[in-house]
Amino acid sequence: MKLIQRLGINTLFFSKKDKRLAASIKVMMGSRPFNIALYKLALTPSGIAEETMKGFKISNERLEFLGDAILGAVIAEYLFQKYPYRDEGFLTETRSKLVNRESLNSTGIKIGLKNVLNLEIGDRNFIGNKSLYGDVLEAFLGAIYLDKGYHFTKKFILKRILLHFDLEGMIATVTNYKSKIIEWSQKENKSIEYKVLHVHGNQRFKEFIVALEIDGEETSQGKGSTKKKAEQEASKNACDLLKITQ
């Protein structure tokens, strides 16, 4: 089977449309796809998926789940290696900034998914589905993983996806939750106060627990190895709770 795929014999049995699709995927991926059915599935957003019996829809959502996990692992290793002196909080936050709907969407368009998608399903209307290309990109990564394995997918992500992400720019925009809360409180005319509730530990290892009070009522808590970190976490929790986004 491997030999047949390597010699490209399987493409002899592709339909004309599939051959065209395989060719454009090759341009995008840098390598000929083996199992074209996987890529076709990845290019099937749930909005246009056919419903089979028992209400089960064959769409790219399952592949998206897989691709999302693989992307997460590859980015985790990349950041781990790239920033040897940053702690896991930084790594986690940077990853979630990198792998968000918006950046995946624009990257999907940049690497040419729009054209491939047009080729496969025509120029249908997808108004309302804002994360179409990001979803398709993740599903596409899932398809590559199943078709070509982990190492190929990792190389593909590192060489063709990551360069579209503005890593340094994203890291520079550190979210300062405390200043968000202060801004919000001034706009909403509320008083805020941070109170240290506990300090655990010894000289070597400390843990602060801080409560954030809004108008005298405790809204959230946070903990961290410094007072500043604990305040940040409490502020972040309050932002989540109160749905403060900007």
**Catalytically annotated residues:** 68, 138
Contact between 145 and a second copy by CB under 8 A: the answer reads: yes
- Residue 154: CB minimum distance to a second copy, A: 8
Distance CA 231, CA 221 (A): 8
Indicate which single residue of 28, 91, 167, 170 sits in contact with a second copy (rule: CB under 8 A).
Answer: 91
Among residues 17 and 62, whose Cβ is nearest to a second copy? 62
Contacts with a second copy by CB under 8 A: the residue count is: 32
192's CB contacts (< 8 A; 6+ apart) are 181, 182, 185, 212, 213, 214
Distance CA 132, CA 45 (A): 7
Distance CA 133, CA 136 (A): 5
What angle is formed at CA 143 by the lines to CA 137 and CA 148, rounded to 5 degrees? 120
240 is in an annotated binding site: no
Among residues 22 and 97, whose Cβ is nearest to a second copy? 97
User: Are 59 and 171 within 8 A, CB to CB?
Assistant: no
User: Are 146 and 66 within 8 A, CB to CB?
Assistant: yes
**DSSP β-bridge partners for residue 193:** 213
18 is in an annotated binding site: no
Distance CA 82, CA 76 (A): 10
Indicate which single residue of 13, 16, 168, 205 sits in contact with a second copy (rule: CB under 8 A).
Answer: 205
Contact between 76 and a second copy by CB under 8 A: the answer reads: yes
Indicate which single residue of 56, 122, 168, 169 sits in contact with a second copy (rule: CB under 8 A).
Answer: 56
Distance CA 106, CA 52 (A): 32
x/- track of binding to a second copy for residues 155-194 (CB under 8 A): ----------------------------------------
Indicate which single residue of 12, 13, 85, 123 sits in contact with a second copy (rule: CB under 8 A).
Answer: 85
Indicate which single residue of 5, 18, 61, 114 sits in contact with a second copy (rule: CB under 8 A).
Answer: 61
Could you list the residues known to form a binding site for Mg(2+), using ranges: 64, 135, 138
